[in-house]
Amino acid sequence: MVTRRFALILLAGLPLPALLPAPWIGLLLVAGFAVFVAVLDVFVAGPLTAVRLTRSGDRTVWLGGTATVTLTATNTGRRPLRLHVRDSWVPSAGAWPAQHDVFLPRGAHRALEVKLNPVRHGDRPAVLVTLRSLGPFGVAYRQRGRKWNASVSPPWVLRVLPHFPSRRILPEKLARMRVIEGSAVTRGRGAGTEFDALREYVIGDDVRSIDWRASARHNDVMVRTWRPERDRRVICVIDTGRTSAARVGDAPRLDAAIDAALLLAVLATRADDRVDLFALDAVVRARVSSSGKMDRLIDAMAALTPAPDETDWTALASALLRRDQKRSLVVIFTALEPAPIVEGLLPLLRRLTARHQVVVAGVRDPAVSRAAVLPSAPPPDSSSVPPAAITAADVHLAAAAQRVLTERDRVREVLTRFGAIVVDEDAGAFAGRVADVYLLLKATGRL
C-alpha cells in the first residue's frame, strides 16, 4: 500500500516530461521511478508478524472519570520497525489519542497510553488495532492481514460504573440514620421488634410488655425491652422498559433511578439491611443480592440500559409473592405515567402492598412544570420591560403540560389509595427524597 508521499513524488515529476522530446517516455520514467521507490520501501519495511501486542491498565471507572489503558507493542523480530498504530474503541468510550507513530528497534517495546473519558455507563470494549509498518522513505507500507483494513486487537473491556451525583449528600443521610438508630434504642418502638432484655417495670411502660413468668421468678413486675430489628430486606426494582429511555434534562430517566437506588443501597447496607436488585422490562435484566457487599450491586446497575419494550410486571409479582417471602421494603423506580401504571403495575399492587411495604418512585421532568406556566404581565405601574407577546403555540404547550401534570396527580392518588408510598420529585432532589422516605420508615418503626 502507498502513502501520500507516493502521490507527491508523481506530482513533483510531472514537469519533467515537458523537457523531453517524447513526453510519454518522461511519464513512463517518472511513474517507473515512483513504483520502484514504493516497491523498495515495502521490501525494506519490517514484517508485522514480529509485533506482539498486550494491554494493561484500568478495568473500571466511574462515569465522569478518566481511565488509562496502556497498549504495549513489542518487536520480537530481527529488524527495526517504524509503526503507525491506530487503537480504536467504541465512540462512547471517548478514547484519545487514537493514533501513534513509534519506532521499535529489535527486541524493544513501547507503551502507548490511551485516555478514556466515557460518556455512558456499561461495558466499553476495545474494538481493533490497526498496524502499519512503514519503509525508510515513508512512501509505502505493510499492513497486517490480507485485506487493507485487516486488524488485530488484544481483548479489553472497560466497565463504566453509573454516575452517582447523590454521593455528595451521603454524609448528611448517614448522620440522620445514626440519629434515628440512636433514638430507636429507647426500647419498645414499633410492633416488628426483636427481644433485647428484661428490666423492672416503671410508670409509663406499656402493660402489654409485662412478662408475667419473669415477674413471678423475680418477685417483681418485669417488662420486656425491644431493639430495632436488623437484617431487614430492601428490594430496589428498576424499570428498564421504554419509559426509562425518556430524557429528563440531559440524561435518560434510568440514570436518575440508578442514582437513587445507589444512595438507598448504601444507606441500607450501612444499617445492616439486606439489599436486593431486581431490574426488568419484557424480561428480567438483573437479579442480584448484595449480601452486605456493594460491588455486585454496582456492577449489575452498570450493565443496565433502556429497552424499547413494555415492562412485564408479572415476573416481579411471582418473585415477591412467594409463601416464604419475608416482609420487605420494595422500592419501584418507574415512570408515573397512566398507561404503564394502570395496565401493568396497578393490577398487582394490591397484593404487593398486602405482603410488603411498597414505595413507587418516579422522576419528574422540570421542563414540563416550567412549560405549564404562562408568563404573567407586569402591573400597569411597573417600570420593568413587558414580556414578549404570548402566542397560540405557547398556550397549547402550557395546556398540554398542565394535562400531563394533572394525569400524574391522578396516578399518584390511585397509587396512594392502593397502599403505596409515592415519591414524585424533580431529578435534582429525587435521590434525596427516596432516602428520606427510607429514613422516615425506619424512624417510625414501619421498616
**Could you tell me which residues are beta bridge partners of residue 102?**
83
CB 277 within 8 A of CB 356: no
The whole-number pLDDT of residue 366 equals 87
Distance from C-alpha of 317 to C-alpha of 340, rounded to nearest angstrom: 15
- DSSP H helices, 243-336, are 253-270, 295-302, 314-320
Q: Can you count the helices (H) and strands (E) in the chain?
A: 12, 20
Start-end of H helices in 366-426 = 366-371, 392-417
CB under 8 Å to 43, separation ≥6 — which residues?
A: 135
The 10s digit of each residue's pLDDT in 228-263 is 555 688 999 999 999 999 988 888 999 999 999 999
- Least Cα distance to 349 among 412, 415, 410, 284 occurs for 415
Percent of the chain as helix, strand, coil, to the nearest 5: 40, 30, 35
Q: Kindly give the residue spans of alpha helices, DSSP state H, lying in 45-132.
A: none
d(CA 14, CA 33): 12
**If you ran DSSP here, which 8-state letter would residue 375 be given?**
P
Among candidates 15, 47, 49, which has minimal Cα distance to 30?
A: 15
pTM above 0.85, yes or no: no
Whether omega before 165 lies within 30 degrees of 0, making that bond cis, reads no
Helix (H, G, I), strand (E, B) or coil at 177: helix
Query: How far apart are alpha carbons 369 and 359 in whole angstroms?
Result: 23
pLDDT score for 245: 92
Cell triple for 411: 396516578
Burial class for 207, CB neighbours closer than 10 Å (0-12, 13-18, 19+): exposed
Contacts of 168 (CB under 8 A, 6+ apart): none
Mean pLDDT in consecutive groups of 10 residues from the start of the chain, 447 residues = 58 58 61 66 74 92 93 89 89 91 90 94 90 77 55 83 92 90 53 66 82 86 72 89 89 94 93 91 88 84 92 87 78 92 89 92 89 68 59 87 90 93 92 94 81
Residue 50, phi-psi category: left (phi > 0), alpha (psi -120 to 50), beta (remainder):
alpha
What is the rounded distance in angstroms from the CA atom of residue 283 to the CA atom of residue 303? 15
CB–CB of 364/428 below 8 Å?
Answer: no
The Cα 80–Cα 136 span in angstroms is 11
In 219-313, alpha helices (H): 253-270, 295-302
Residue 236 in 3-state DSSP? Answer: strand
Nearest CA-CA partner of 181 in 189, 169, 172 = 189
The string of pLDDT tens digits covering residues 59-90 is 999 998 999 999 999 998 888 888 888 898 99
Which of these, 237, 267, 437, 268, lies nearest to 352 by C-alpha position? 237
Tell me the C-alpha distance between 142 and 47, whole Å.
8
Cα separation, 315 vs 152, in Å, equals 42
**Sole residue written with cell 517516455:** 25
